[in-house]
Amino acid sequence: MKVRVDPELCQGHTLCAMRAPAMFELSDIDGHSHAVLEQVPPDQEAAVAEAAGSCPEQAIVLY
């Protein structure tokens, strides 16, 4: 599984970083999220899927 955050959709709600702190970081400048790694390690897949489902803007893309 791979993950990315659409910067046009992200509004910086921080829910992804709360659900999967090892996989998402927030910008110090605007608070928007980005994925730490594109390739999701198997032990992080459930947390990343939960983060994607909890994003109010649906900015997290799994592929």
* Residue % of the chain over a pLDDT of 70: 100
Q: Which domain holds residue 23?
A: 3-62
Cα-flanking dihedrals φ and ψ of residue 4, to 5°?
-150, 160
Mean pLDDT of 1-29: 97
Q: What's residue 49's pLDDT?
A: 98
Q: 7: pLDDT confidence band, cut at 50, 70 and 90?
A: very high
Decide if 39 contacts 2 (C-beta within 8 A). Answer: yes
Q: What's residue 30's pLDDT?
A: 92
* Residue % of the chain over a pLDDT of 90: 100
User: What total of structural domains would you count in the chain?
Assistant: 1
Domain containing residue 11: CATH number? 3.30.70.20
Mean pLDDT of 27-52: 97
